[in-house]
Structure 1
């Protein structure tokens, strides 16, 4: 299956279990792997036959900078669902959300979740 990869999308959100995370917020980095058939776009050279990267960014921004969630797992799930709703040609998606410097004991560069969803899973 063909893929569109968008890496290192950065957003500022207020997700986390602790009140200070919800009040102060922090940066989140998102990587997306969108699986779809790109053969028609490759032959036609028309944006209407592909998935617009700018629109993908805006959907991701709306989710990550939107409603605060306790878990980045919930953010990733919502992001996948919104992508299926926005792009009818999207067949499957992998979402990675990276949360730098999580407020947990010890020293961490980041905590991340990765989910993979297929269209038949979408509600």
Structure 2
């Protein structure tokens, strides 16, 4: 399988367990790695033979900036599942969501959740 990476996409969302997170919101960083066959796109130079990364960006933005989740694990899983449901060319997806400023009295670079999902032999979505 070939790989397409979308790195450090930045979105503003209202996710979190604490009410102030849902009210104030914050920036989230999202990385997506898509596993798909890009042979035809590489050979033909045809956008129809690949996935338009601008579409993936807009798709992800809609999720992150939409309905709030309590956990970034849920946000991450939702992005992964919906990518697989909507982009049938994708065989496997890895999504990494970073919350750079969790509301804790500690100093660190944030918290990141990364998960991978793919298709089983029946087309269902499964962890990989």
TM-score, normalized by the shorter chain, greater than 0.5 = yes
> 2-side partners of 1:41 and 1:87: how far apart?
16
Instruction: Measure, in 2, the Cα distance between the counterparts of 1:119 and 1:39.
Output: 20
Within 2, Cα distance between the matches of 1:85 and 1:118?
A: 10
Query: Could you tell me which residue of structure 2 aligns to residue 122 of structure 1?
Result: 125
Residue aligned with 1:60, SS: helix
SS of 1:113 mapped into structure 2: strand
What whole-Å deviation, never above 9, does each CA across 1:56-88 have from its counterpart, x for those lacking one? 001100110011000000000110111112211
TM-score for the superposition, normalised by structure 2: 0.92
Match of 2:113 in 1: 113
Q: Does structure 2 retain, via aligned residues, the 8 Å contact 1:102–1:108?
A: no
Alpha-carbon distance between aligned partners in 2 of 1:69 and 1:48, rounded to the nearest angstrom: 33
Shift in Å at residue 108 of structure 1?
1.6
Give the 5 Å matches for 1:21-40.
21-40=21-40
Gaps of 5+ in 2: none
Moved over 4 A (4+): none
d(CA) in 1 for partners of 2:103, 2:40: 46
